Structure 1
Amino acid sequence: MCIFPEEIIERILKHCDGKTLLIAYAVNEQWKNIIQRLTKRTKIWKRNCLRDIPKGELVKYTEKYINQNDIDKWLNIYKNWCAWQDIDGNIEFDIHLSPIEVSRITSIAVSGRYVAVGSEDGRIKIFNDNWDLLHTTRYQAIKITEITFMCDEEYFEARNGRIYVLIAYKTGTLVLTEFDGKLNELSVIQDVKLHSVYKKYLCYEKRGGRITISKLCKNSMGTNVFCEITFLRIYSPSEVSCLHMWGGTATFLINNEVKVLKYDENVPPISIPERRVRIKFCINNHPRLERSCHIYRDDIIICASTTEDDLREQFLELFILGEKGSYSKKLFNTWDVLESYITCMFLYGNTFIIGVDIGNIYFYHISSWKEFDIRNYQKKMIVGRHPINGIDVREDSHQRKFYVHSSFKVHEITGLRVNDYQYDLHCGV
């Protein structure tokens, strides 16, 4: 029997963190009703998401949540975030082969209820979440290397049935399109070596060393095009290995120097990036070394270095960027641990996924990158027999659905949340 009036309990619970609320929900029917009432009348779950979930994770959860108008969106995001901190104990996995027929798949992207698939012959196909084909087209008869959905937060066209799709081709061509039942070409950029997208912003490097930061904006005809914000130049012998945009910062790896540039409305037309840190690679000066680097958020760089000789080896170098020019690093031999070579990496909030050349994927929970160990995966799944080439995700009220593709198939891997309101202290902050 409860010795406190409901008004007192409600006042107390109103100021509790999300983990405490999830535990209190299972106390009894009275407390459950109080929390349900608070959920409807207040923004208690949005406040707890903003307070408890790291900003770098929350940005992705809100972006990938399938129904932005769901009144329980913040509650569901919080519960999913808690559950995925213990993948082995709280998540049940299921895998399905998609029914689509696409020859030589090269890329996949997911946004809301849309799935875009690119192929070796340059075709892009748009499906809904039931795999009904909505549209197919081809702008160039050359390999599509990446597809990205872009978001114009100012106009919210996606809510009105309009979305923006950026298509990257092997030739270095970027094509901005608008989808309103069919893809309509809006803008074309040529000779692009590298590019990165964050919401409505695009950063790209062209051949010759010019790096441009642009954003979606309306022209005089009311059509969305790219408007240049600023640019900078990189001169030989310097070379940009990778670049990434996130949260108002563009991060560049130039040779072995990490440089950053803050972009906003007040940035000058010509910019000079600020040097953040100089890193040192463990694997270097090998005559036949192939290195692929990726920047995650604005503080993590992961490089896969493969030696192309008789004794083929692959090393994973993880750089964790700190403050005032400091960094720490980790080194792993992927063959010694996974007995395969990494072909794909994907970070979604607190979940890191590695895909390998024999068709397996590995799930890791990231509580701290300094504690990351490639050997300590929480879930291994056999997807097929072919190399994993790409991954994307969507999230809804009870699950995260990962779209994993090889060159021949797309598999849907669903991670369903179980054991609601029974999460252990892993959910604490």
Structure 2
Amino acid sequence: MMFPLEILEIILSKCDGKTLLNARKSCTDLRGIVDYLAEKTRLWEWCCREEIPNEQLVEYLPKYEGCGKEKWLNMYINWYSWEKIEKLTILEPVRCPLNLSKISCVAVSSHHIAIGSEDGRLKIFTQHWRPFFEHRIVAVKITNLTFIGYNDYCSDDLNDLDMCLVVAFPNGLSIFAFKDSQSFKIDIDGIKSHSVFRNYICYEKVGGRLTIIKISNLIDRRRVQEIWFARVYSPSWITCYKMWNGTCTFLINTTIKSLSYDTPTITPLEEMQKVTDLWFYAPLMINSSVTKIYRDNVIINVYKNNVTTWSPHRDIMEDYIEIVILDKETHFSKKLFNMLEIFKCNITCIFLYGNLLLIGTDCGELYYYHISNWKNIDLKQYNHRQIVGRHPIIAIAVKEFEKERRFYVSSRFAIHEVAGFMPNVYP
């Protein structure tokens, strides 16, 4: 080399992550210097925290809790790969080796895959699809599954667990915890809806009572700590809510409110703070609508409505997506798309993870969108389209591997694994 090693070390230590990746794959000597700097300093952690937006980093960190010392390098590479989705290699869907039926929901953690069914059966597998646990919850549909995060950001009590899973069904929740060969279960009845973030759960009971609980110990004392509650009285009604990174965002009627739930000063009767008022496109809500809050600043409303009376196809149901983007103040912007015009089919699943938005349809097609700026998003300009089976996509889950990001795309009859990675990033 023309430069002394000390000079190269100083230069590389001042570079961004993309430059460091290019240096690693350019030659053996530069790779050695970059890896030496990464070993002696928190080089890749600095790159992740400076370049990856915080709302994405919050989602990535729990996925890498078992990746050891190179978790920051692997996290940056996977994030950077999906930033360049046009150059990304997205493999063909691979069907899981098991014969499944009546699937209603799916969840994935670092080491396990959980599958719920329409007849109330819960099946948990290892990441290699070996049976781990099976149980009949109730004789009704399991509506949602969520792994409670147990990583550096949760209590030591949860770090001792092998796995913790929240199972939702109509009018109730079950919390399963596993330690060695033992399992523990807590039931909460009378629940209409819920939201989970790490080891916090917010749920709404019949009558408008909202409660936030913290899971702190499920083995010795089976403790569930109630940290906040409130009641929303008629004629107000709760449209949806979302827990995210210390803040719970509520949409009550047409008012956005928020609550910081993980502060040490929170009291059980802490009042929600009003953020802003917003209005959806009311004429489209004649038939039905599904509203969800993603993170704490994006609201997506999916309307299903008959076409206008003058149309020759009056029986066709149209899907409209209205995206509401909240800013840090009290303002918001909205975008409205007719999905039947764009996709020629209806939407059955929307999944947001990191820098990627995935939309599944009733004909088994999956559309990928890179989210660089919500205000500039145009659903007509998708980055990648993929056919996953022939049945409606009902659920999507994600897991980060060392050299790829893998999505688990589910219909009622099968689960397909879709992996993506950027060639030549790993020299």
SS in structure 1 of the partner of residue 114 of structure 2: strand
> How far 1:20 moved relative to its partner?
1.9
1:384 aligns with 2:389: yes
TM-aligned CA deviation for residue 285 of structure 1 = 6.7
Shift of 1:16: 1.9
1:227-275 deviations in Å (ceiling 9; x for gaps): 1001111111111111100011000111111111111221111122111
| Residue in 1 that maps onto 2:322 | 317
Alpha-carbon distance change, 15 to 183 in structure 1, aligned in 2, over 3 angstroms = same
SS of residue in 2 equivalent to 1:392? strand
CA distance in 1: counterparts of 2:18 and 2:421, whole angstroms: 19
The answer to whether 1:54 aligns with 2:53 is yes
The one-letter code matched in structure 2 to 1:166 is: V
1:29-56 deviation digits (Å, cap 9, x = unpaired): 3222100111222210011111110111
Q: Corresponding residue for 1:348?
A: 353
- Cα distance 1:185–1:222, how it changes in 2: closer, same or farther (>3 A)? closer
Secondary structure in 1 matching 2:417 = strand
Whether 1:271 and 2:232 are equivalent positions in the alignment is no
Give the TM-score taking structure 2 as reference length: 0.93
**Could you give the per-residue CA deviations for residues 276-326 of structure 1, whole angstroms, max 9, x where no partner exists?**
11111124375x421101111100000101115734211100000013310
Alpha-carbon distance change, 183 to 351 in structure 1, aligned in 2, over 3 angstroms = farther
Aligned counterpart, 2:155: 154
State the 1:104 CA deviation.
0.3
Paired residues, what number? Answer: 416
Q: What does 1:15-94 align with in structure 2 at a 5 Å threshold?
A: 15-65=14-64, 68-94=66-92
Task: Please state if 1:370 is matched with 2:375.
Answer: yes
In structure 1, the residue matched to 2:115 is 117
Structure 2 letter corresponding to 1:364: Y
User: Deviations 1:80-114 (Å, cap 9, x if unpaired)?
Assistant: 11110121212332311112233300010000110
Pick from 396, 400, 414: which aligns with 2:401? Answer: 396
Matches within 5 A, 1:122-201: 122-152=120-150, 153-155=154-156, 157=158, 160=160, 162-170=162-170, 172-180=171-179, 184-201=183-200
For the 8 Å contact 2:125–2:133, the answer to whether it is kept is yes
Find the counterpart in structure 1 of residue 209 from structure 2.
Answer: 210
1:284 is paired with a residue whose SS is helix
Specify whether residues 42 and 298 from structure 1 end up closer, same or farther in structure 2 by C-alpha distance, changes over 3 A only: same
Identity %: 39
Tell me if the contact between 1:283 and 1:305 (Cα under 8 Å) persists in the aligned partners. no
Question: In the aligned structure 2, how far is the partner of 1:5 from the partner of 1:194?
Answer: 62
Amino acid at match of 1:89: K
Alpha-carbon distance between aligned partners in 1 of 2:196 and 2:408, rounded to the nearest angstrom: 20
Give the distance between the partners of 2:94 and 2:284, measured in 1 at CA.
44
Match of 1:58, as an amino acid? L
Given that 2:107 and 2:145 are in contact with CA atoms closer than 8 Å, whether structure 1 keeps it comes out as yes
Which secondary structure does the structure 1 equivalent of 2:416 belong to? strand
* Number of the residue aligned with 2:309: none
- 1:425 matched to which residue of 2? none
CA contact (8 A) 1:134 1:181 kept: no
| Post-superposition CA distance 1:133-165 (Å, at most 9, x none) | 11111121111000111124111645x562111
Structure 2 Cα separation of the partners of residues 118 and 254 of structure 1 = 29
Residue 328 and residue 410 in structure 1: after superposition, are their counterparts in 2 closer, same or farther (change >3 A)? same
